[in-house]
Amino acid sequence: MAVVGEPVEATLDNTTSKTDTSASAALQPKKVFMRTYGCQMNVYDSDRMTDVLGPEGFTTTENMEDADLVILNTCHIREKAAEKVYSELGRIRKVKEERARQGKEMMIGVAGCVAQAEGEEISRRAPIVDLVIGPQSYHQLPKLLKTARDGTKVVETEFDIDAKFKHLSERAARPPLKRAPSAFLTVQEGCDKFCTFCVVPYTRGAEVSRSVEQIVTEAEQMAVAGVREITLLGQNVNGWHGAGPDGNSWGLGRLLYRLSEIDGLDRLRYTTSHPRDMDDELIQAHRDLKTLMPYLHLPVQSGSDSILASMNRKHTRDEYFRLIDRIREAAPDIALSCDFIVGFPGETDQDFQDTMNLIRRVEFGSAFSFKYSQRPGTPGALMDNQVDEDIKSARLAELQELVAQQQTAFNASRINMTFGVLFERKGRMPGQIVGKSPWLQPVQVDASEDLIGTIQPVEILEIGRNSLFGQLKPGHHDVVGQ
Ligand code: 5AD
Ligand code: SF4
């Protein structure tokens, strides 16, 4: 699960069906301000919350001051996550008071993993909050909002994932008019792995997979709505499994073969995977499917066997190396990405050097790295050999330096290459558009906005810190990523 430390403003692609004719659509127009923290699953969930609010008369706003409803879609994975939400609520309280002076209402909801973990504690500590809603209950948002508006504080943190998935599928049956070229599709939620540092099994619950039929239908509808690239999402996405129409049990690999048959879907990706669940069929899919992009986020967390065992990662460092070899044999050009934690309890200098040496051996295209933080309720938080903050900081800096070198080398290896870029939006400079390479690198090109939503061959001329810069190469066919 790629998590960013800073809030990600939700990409509100307003996919709500504009053809909705329900009576509630005629309600007074209202504005919702949605702030999304954390992983891509939260971005997907924020979009779905915006979807269910559309028929209730809500449109989105980027200005909190204009909002009749503010929703914080929170992440619990980092240290002091709950405290940060409480201080944000303190700031929002002032905006709410200012609106009240102008005679305007502002309702406040807290969603996501902090909502799930803290529950009623949120209403107790922050009385301005009208609604606390866990990740499995978003489809109930309109009903819960009504209850909250009638003056009852609402705390809804049931784990009813089947109901959420059913709702997502019903929504998919109403095709939206137009969607962004690249979109997420949740196929699986929850995690049964119980890594000893991680809150996810507690905040998102046990692993539940959506059915093949639900996923294929939603993907087909997305293709009709203009989506060219789908990233399948799950906390443990390669743990996805379901009964196929052929009567066999399907894994993620088989599902990818099926999705690659959908007309108009040119690119498939998935995240986040666990090394233990990379089976043969999934690796073969990387060899066989042109639509499956040559990029894999496969967190290892540590390169030390004793730390891996203490993290309960359920594999050794050698098993990870063997897996990487098999993946590279199937897809030699694949870009590997990873998550690392430094300073897990008991991590010695030697353990850390084992991680550094794993990175040198594998060579990653990019990676996320974090200092270990004690998460309440996880076994790691109770371990008594916690590592000093200073040591963690020094190790993180050393690791990030190495990863930055590898990322630069990988980016530089694309110079003079021509490959397909899926253009997604306008760039910061006038006349510039931005897309993604098959290896998930942002690519900037001077070209017409009309190309947004299309895949074009691009030759890479130079690299910046995070992006590649290139020029269109019309007429180049059969290049990777097209
Ligand atoms: N401390 C530091 N990093 C963590 N992660 C998850 N829990 C913790 C924690 N307690 C990191 C892992 C995971 C990523 C999403 O966040 O690297 O893969
Ligand atoms: Fe957390 Fe481990 Fe599950 Fe990933 S696999 S979500 S790190 S418990």
pLDDT of 313 above 90: yes
38-47: string of b/e by CB count within 10 Å (b at 16+)?
Answer: bbbbbbbbbb
**What mean pLDDT comes out for the span 296-322?**
98
Query: Which residue, by CA, sits nearest to atom 12 of ligand 1?
Result: 339
- For residue 199, give the ligand 1 atom closest to its CA: 7
| 75 assigned to a ligand binding site | yes
Residue 178 has what pLDDT? 73
**What mean pLDDT comes out for the span 242-271?**
97
Residue 173 has what pLDDT? 58
The CA 1 to ligand 2 mean position distance, Å, reads: 8
Q: How far is the C-alpha of 84 from the C-alpha of 388, rounded, in Å?
A: 23
Q: Which pLDDT tens digit goes with each residue over 123-140?
A: 899 999 999 999 888 888
Query: Where are the alpha helices (H) located in 260-299, listed in sequence order?
Result: 280-288
Q: Are 240 and 209 a contacting pair, CB within 8 Å?
A: yes
Closest of 348, 364, 352 to residue 404, by C-alpha:
364
| 338 assigned to a ligand binding site | no
pLDDT of 7 above 60: no
Q: Is 370 in the pocket of ligand 1 (CB under 6 A)?
A: yes
Residue 54 has what pLDDT? 87
Residue 439 has what pLDDT? 98
Q: How far is the C-alpha of 457 from the C-alpha of 367, rounded, in Å?
A: 26
Q: Is 104 in the pocket of ligand 2 (CB under 6 A)?
A: no
| 198 assigned to a ligand binding site | yes
Q: Is 222 in the pocket of ligand 1 (CB under 6 A)?
A: no
Q: Which residue ranges form the domains of the chain, and what is each CATH number?
A: 8-158 (3.40.50.12160), 163-412 (3.80.30.20), 418-472 (2.40.50.140)
More confident residue, 6 or 61: 61
| Ligand 2 site-directed mutation target among 235, 278, 307, most atoms within 8 Å of CB | 235
Query: Which residue, by CA, sits nearest to atom 1 of ligand 2?
Result: 198
Q: How far is the C-alpha of 217 from the C-alpha of 172, rounded, in Å?
A: 7
Q: Is 392 in the pocket of ligand 1 (CB under 6 A)?
A: no
Q: Which pLDDT tens digit goes with each residue over 393-421?
A: 999 999 999 999 999 999 999 999 999 99
Q: Are 129 and 39 a contacting pair, CB within 8 Å?
A: no
Q: How confident is the model at residue 156 (pLDDT cuts 50, 70, 90)?
A: confident
134 vs 140, 147, 151, 208, CA distance in Å?
11, 16, 20, 16
81 vs 94, 206, 244, 360, 426, CA distance in Å?
21, 22, 39, 32, 33
Residue 471 has what pLDDT? 97
Q: Is 191 in the pocket of ligand 2 (CB under 6 A)?
A: yes
pLDDT of 152 above 90: no
Q: Which of 27-36, 345-354, 391-400 has the lowest mean pLDDT?
A: 27-36
Residue 27 has what pLDDT? 54
Q: Which ligand is nearest to the CA of 39?
A: 1
Q: How confident is the model at residue 1 (pLDDT cuts 50, 70, 90)?
A: very low
Residue 10 has what pLDDT? 32
More confident residue, 150 or 287: 287
- pTM of the model as a whole: 0.86
Collect all residues with Cβ–Cβ distance below 8 Å to 333 and sequence separation of at least 6: 294, 480
For residue 178, give the amino acid letter. K
| 195 assigned to a ligand binding site | yes
Residue 23 has what pLDDT? 40
Q: Is 274 in the pocket of ligand 2 (CB under 6 A)?
A: yes
Q: Which pLDDT tens digit goes with each residue over 420-433?
A: 999 999 999 999 99
Q: How far is the C-alpha of 91 from the C-alpha of 93, rounded, in Å?
A: 5
Q: Which pLDDT tens digit goes with each residue over 172-228?
A: 656 555 789 999 999 999 999 999 999 999 988 999 999 999 999 999 999 999 999
Residue 9 has what pLDDT? 31
376 vs 81, 199, 230, 381, 451, CA distance in Å?
11, 8, 34, 6, 48
Q: How confident is the model at residue 15 (pLDDT cuts 50, 70, 90)?
A: very low
Residue 80 has what pLDDT? 81
pLDDT of 49 above 60: yes
Q: Is 372 in the pocket of ligand 1 (CB under 6 A)?
A: yes
pLDDT of 89 above 80: yes
Q: How confident is the model at residue 29 (pLDDT cuts 50, 70, 90)?
A: confident
**What mean pLDDT comes out for the span 100-107?**
93
Angle CA(239)–CA(245)–CA(250) in degrees, nearest 5?
20
Q: Which pLDDT tens digit goes with each residue over 433-468?
A: 999 999 999 999 999 999 999 999 999 999 987 899
Q: How far is the C-alpha of 42 from the C-alpha of 112, rounded, in Å?
A: 7
Residue 78 has what pLDDT? 79
Tokens at 468, concatenated: 């590649």
Q: Which ligand is nearest to the CA of 76?
A: 1
More confident residue, 305 or 27: 305
- For residue 312, give the ligand 2 atom closest to its CA: 2
Q: Is 299 in the pocket of ligand 1 (CB under 6 A)?
A: yes
- For residue 369, give the ligand 1 atom closest to its CA: 17
CA 377, 355, 327, 463: dihedral to nearest 10 degrees?
A: 110
Collect all residues with Cβ–Cβ distance below 8 Å to 444 and sequence separation of at least 6: 427, 432, 433, 434, 467, 468, 469, 470
Residue 162 has what pLDDT? 75
**What mean pLDDT comes out for the span 300-327?**
98
Q: Is 72 in the pocket of ligand 2 (CB under 6 A)?
A: no
